[in-house]
């Protein structure tokens, strides 16, 4: 499907440059949520640029067997587009992807999406107070840019010596090769995070042998999934307030049970240990699977089938470090070569890859600006980048609940900013360096005592350069509170109203 809608872009007859007021980069959950809310608020002059041939972000790309959300679905959906039809408490990938596409269609957003259009570069034109974007389909001028490229959108391929020499087949969980039949094959899986824990139990029954390479054991926690009955769904249709009530209950479950696992993990660690003891009878295997750091330090693996799968006769859990990949398998540091036909990389994602191609007012990219530390004001705006907003930027991710509880306050914040610009004839605004710095000092102080920095582990939450610039150091309500009002006093504004034409 290639729906390239030129009608939503206003083309300058002289230059051929397309113009739009708001350019959204990325059509995943956050970008489409921004688009839906713009439509709902009466804005029509916006375009979503998506490099892929379909919308859906994470839920388009992560189609591995068993891919599912581990945050309850009523909560892992837009508050402004509830879905009474979830068939499971924790929906699978296909259902989530359908939901995103359906609500985008129903809210009239698909007409604003330019598929297979990558934003290649962009620069702030100070004089015109506009962003000039080079896309794979031509130049676009935009007053505002909302970057919604996803913090975990690029697979991380480990730098393992010899990986390129492997004679079998290699692919990453985030780009599952559905053409490659694993039946009867000797399969090696590298990584035991949330993704691997979901696909390992699915592929284990069909492969001849499964070798799981674990670098660090993860804490696991019960998933508590079940089917949602037809009767429940009918009730949600009839009484939407009931669904909101269920959503509220799920919100508090994630905040209080899983959020507390991060704040005070004693009880949840005990639950996890008891479950490990019940699910894994072999003491040696249990020893290998017992984490040596505090729960919550790494993302908790919320899964019921992973540990039992590891106990199956055709599965080996290897904890010796990988020395290198050979043409025929994986050589571990103890000198054993594990012979394999296929290697599946469950090795996670580059975090906030800042594939961000834009150059700000001083001509630098975010990558350059963030050489020392990734920092933004409220995780949303960056000094030096006028009229630029990021969804799920630095310190806005979560380990315990729905990422949408962070993206939605950001979306509302951007809407308020646009309304402020309309009301006061603002051409551009740029967050003050002092406001951004003050905000980040507070964040880093709070992060210093969290389990992510003190829990004794390494994880994608941490960054070699700057500690943790990924997660929000608290519960969701404090993030929502911080963004509840567009704090225009923290922005320098240019009152040069330039009617968009
Ligand atoms: P991940 O949590 O980053 O796990 C990557 C795994 O690969 C880890 O076990 C890691 O070991 C291992 N690894 C990485 N490089 C390695 C190397 N060079 N040698 C050996 N092992 C290596 O990635 P993920 O499982 O794809 O999950 C990423 C995030 O996506 C999750 O944390 C979660 O936030 C999200 N997710 C959510 C769901 C859901 O249900 N909502 C499902 C899947 C993923 P170390 O631990 O030692 O680094």
**Residue with the nearest Cα to atom 20 of ligand 1?**
215
- DSSP letters for 234-300: HHHHH-HHHHHHHHHHHHHIIIIIIHHHHH-THHHHHHHHHHHHHH---HHHHHHT--SS-TTSSPP
Q: Is 193 in the pocket of ligand 1 (CB under 6 A)?
A: yes
Measured in angstroms, how far is the CA atom of residue 248 from the centroid of ligand 1? 29
Residue 3 has pLDDT above 80, yes or no: no
* Helices 29-40 and 404-424: angle between axes, nearest 10 degrees: 40
| Angle, CA 132 vertex, CA 127 and CA 138 arms, to 5° | 145
In ligand 1, the atom with minimum distance to the C-alpha of 71 is 41
| Angle, CA 113 vertex, CA 244 and CA 25 arms, to 5° | 85
Ligand 1 pocket mutation, candidates 191, 258, 291, 396, criterion most atoms within 8 A of CB: 191
**Residue with the nearest Cα to atom 6 of ligand 1?**
191
Residue 1 has pLDDT above 90, yes or no: no
Hey, how many other C-beta atoms are within 10 angstroms of the C-beta on 168?
18
User: Average pLDDT, whole number, for the chain?
Assistant: 93
CATH topology of domain 12-153+352-489: FAD/NAD(P)-binding domain (3.50.50)
Distance CA 159, CA 15 (A): 45
CA 277 from centre of chain:
32
114-118, 468-472, 484-488 — which is least confidently predicted?
468-472
What integer pLDDT is reported at residue 6 of this predicted model? Answer: 37
Distance CA 32, CA 139 (A): 22
- Which residue from 50, 63, 62, 53 is spatially nearest to 148, judged by alpha carbons? 50
Distance CA 391, CA 410 (A): 6
Measured in angstroms, how far is the CA atom of residue 392 from the centroid of ligand 1? 19
Q: Is 299 in the pocket of ligand 1 (CB under 6 A)?
A: yes
Which contacts qualify for 444-450: CB closer than 8 Å, 24 or more apart?
446/473, 446/474, 447/395, 447/471, 447/473, 450/262
Distance CA 29, CA 441 (A): 29
Hey, how many other C-beta atoms are within 10 angstroms of the C-beta on 127?
6
**Residue with the nearest Cα to atom 10 of ligand 1?**
191
Q: Is 75 in the pocket of ligand 1 (CB under 6 A)?
A: no
Distance CA 461, CA 12 (A): 44
Measured in angstroms, how far is the CA atom of residue 190 from the centroid of ligand 1? 10
Residue 371 has pLDDT above 70, yes or no: yes
What integer pLDDT is reported at residue 380 of this predicted model? Answer: 97
What integer pLDDT is reported at residue 465 of this predicted model? Answer: 66
Q: 327-358 pLDDT, tens per residue? A: 999 999 999 999 999 999 999 998 876 657 89
Measured in angstroms, how far is the CA atom of residue 197 from the centroid of ligand 1? 9
Residue 500 has pLDDT above 90, yes or no: no
Q: Is 196 in the pocket of ligand 1 (CB under 6 A)?
A: yes
Query: 460 pLDDT band (50/70/90 cuts)?
Result: confident
Residue 232 CB-density burial (10 A; 0-12 exposed, 13-18 middle, 19+ buried): middle
Max Cα distance, the chain (Å): 75
In ligand 1, the atom with minimum distance to the C-alpha of 215 is 47
Residue pair 19/11 in contact by the 8 Å Cβ criterion: yes
- Which residue from 497, 488, 500 is spatially nearest to 381, judged by alpha carbons? 488
pTM of structure: 0.94
**Residue with the nearest Cα to atom 33 of ligand 1?**
194
Percent of the chain with pLDDT over 90: 81
Q: Is 347 in the pocket of ligand 1 (CB under 6 A)?
A: yes
Q: 124-140 pLDDT, tens per residue? A: 999 999 999 999 999 99
Mean pLDDT of 425-452: 93
Q: Are the folds of 12-153+352-489 and 155-227+231-349 the same?
A: yes
Q: Within 13 Å and on the Cβ side, how many CA atoms surround 273?
A: 13
Measured in angstroms, how far is the CA atom of residue 345 from the centroid of ligand 1? 10
Ligand 1 pocket mutation, candidates 347, 403, 459, criterion most atoms within 8 A of CB: 347
What integer pLDDT is reported at residue 263 of this predicted model? Answer: 72
Quote the tokens at residue 65. Answer: 């067997």
Q: Spell out the domain ranges in the chain.
A: 12-153+352-489, 155-227+231-349
Mean pLDDT of 16-22: 90
| Angle, CA 377 vertex, CA 496 and CA 72 arms, to 5° | 120
User: Which numeric CATH code is attached to 155-227+231-349?
Assistant: 3.50.50.60
Ligand 1 pocket mutation, candidates 215, 318, 345, 457, criterion most atoms within 8 A of CB: 215
Distance CA 81, CA 109 (A): 13
Q: Is 70 in the pocket of ligand 1 (CB under 6 A)?
A: yes
What integer pLDDT is reported at residue 236 of this predicted model? Answer: 98
Distance CA 95, CA 129 (A): 41
With residue 407 as reference, give the H or E element that holds it. Answer: helix 404-424
* Those residues with Cβ within 8 angstroms of residue 270's Cβ, 6 or more apart along the chain or in another chain: none
Name the 3-class secondary structure at 330. strand
Measured in angstroms, how far is the CA atom of residue 350 from the centroid of ligand 1? 10
Query: 79 pLDDT band (50/70/90 cuts)?
Result: very high
Quote the tokens at residue 396. Answer: 């806005």
What integer pLDDT is reported at residue 22 of this predicted model? Answer: 98
Distance CA 489, CA 168 (A): 59
Q: Is 390 in the pocket of ligand 1 (CB under 6 A)?
A: no
In ligand 1, the atom with minimum distance to the C-alpha of 399 is 34
Residue 148 has pLDDT above 70, yes or no: yes
Quote the tokens at residue 23. Answer: 């350019």
* Those residues with Cβ within 8 angstroms of residue 136's Cβ, 6 or more apart along the chain or in another chain: 51, 116, 117, 118, 120
What integer pLDDT is reported at residue 464 of this predicted model? Answer: 64
Q: 225-252 pLDDT, tens per residue? A: 999 999 999 999 999 999 999 999 999 9
- Which residue from 373, 355, 378, 350 is spatially nearest to 365, judged by alpha carbons? 355
Residue 497 has pLDDT above 70, yes or no: no
In ligand 1, the atom with minimum distance to the C-alpha of 159 is 18
Q: Is 168 in the pocket of ligand 1 (CB under 6 A)?
A: no
What integer pLDDT is reported at residue 8 of this predicted model? Answer: 53
Q: Is 100 in the pocket of ligand 1 (CB under 6 A)?
A: no
């Amino acid at each position: 499907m290639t729906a390239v809608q030129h009608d939503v872009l206003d083309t300058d007859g002289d230059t051929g440059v397309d113009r739009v007021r708001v350019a959204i980069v990325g059509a995943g959950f956050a970008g489409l949520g921004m688009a839906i809310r713009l439509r709902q608020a009466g804005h029509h002059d916006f375009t979503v640029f998506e490099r892929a041939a379909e919308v859906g972000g994470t839920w388009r790309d992560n189609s591995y067997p068993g891919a599912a959300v581990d945050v309850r679905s009523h909560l892992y959906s837009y508050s402004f587009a509830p879905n009474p039809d979830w068939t499971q408490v924790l929906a699978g990938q296909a259902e989530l992807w359908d939901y995103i596409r359906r609500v985008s269609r129903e809210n009239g957003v698909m007409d604003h999406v330019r598929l297979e259009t990558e934003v290649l570069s962009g620069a702030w034109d100070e004089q015109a107070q506009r962003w000039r974007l080079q896309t794979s389909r031509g130049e676009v001028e935009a007053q505002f840019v909302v970057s919604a490229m996803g913090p975990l959108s690029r697979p991380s391929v480990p730098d393992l010596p010899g990986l390129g020499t492997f004679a079998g087949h290699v692919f990453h969980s985030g780009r599952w090769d559905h053409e490659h039949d694993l039946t009867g094959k000797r399969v090696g899986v590298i990584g035991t995070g949330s993704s691997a824990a979901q696909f390992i139990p699915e592929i284990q029954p069909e492969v001849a042998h499964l070798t799981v390479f674990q670098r660090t054991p993860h804490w696991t926690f019960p998933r508590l999934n079940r089917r949602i009955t037809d009767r429940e769904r009918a009730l949600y249709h009839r009484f939407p307030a009931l669904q909101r009530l269920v959503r509220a209950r799920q919100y508090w479950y994630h905040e209080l049970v899983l959020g507390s696992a991060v704040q005070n993990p004693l009880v949840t660690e005990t639950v996890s240990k008891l479950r490990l003891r019940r699910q894994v009878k072999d003491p040696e295997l249990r020893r290998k699977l017992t984490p040596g750091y505090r729960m919550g330090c790494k993302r908790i693996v919320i899964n019921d089938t992973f540990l039992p799968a590891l106990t199956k006769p055709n599965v080996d859990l290897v904890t010796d470090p990988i020395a290198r990949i050979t043409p025929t398998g994986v050589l571990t540091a103890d000198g054993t070569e594990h012979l394999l036909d296929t290697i599946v990389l469950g090795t996670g994602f580059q975090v906030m890859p800042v594939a961000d191609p834009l150059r700000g007012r001083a001509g630098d990219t975010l990558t350059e600006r963030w050489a020392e530390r990734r920092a933004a004001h409220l995780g949303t705006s960056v000094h030096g980048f006028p009229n630029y907003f990021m969804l799920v930027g630095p310190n806005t991710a979560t380990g315990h609940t729905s990422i949408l509880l962070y993206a939605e306050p950001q979306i509302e914040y951007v809407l308020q900013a646009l309304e402020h610009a309309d009301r006061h004839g603002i051409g551009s605004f740029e967050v003050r360096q002092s406001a951004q710095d003050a905000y980040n000092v507070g964040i880093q102080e709070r992060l210093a005592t969290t389990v992510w920095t003190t829990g004794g582990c390494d994880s994608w939450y941490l960054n070699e350069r700057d500690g943790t610039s990924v997660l929000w150091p608290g519960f969701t309500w404090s993030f929502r509170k911080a963004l509840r009002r567009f704090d225009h006093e923290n922005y320098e504004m240019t009152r040069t109203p330039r009617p968009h034409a």
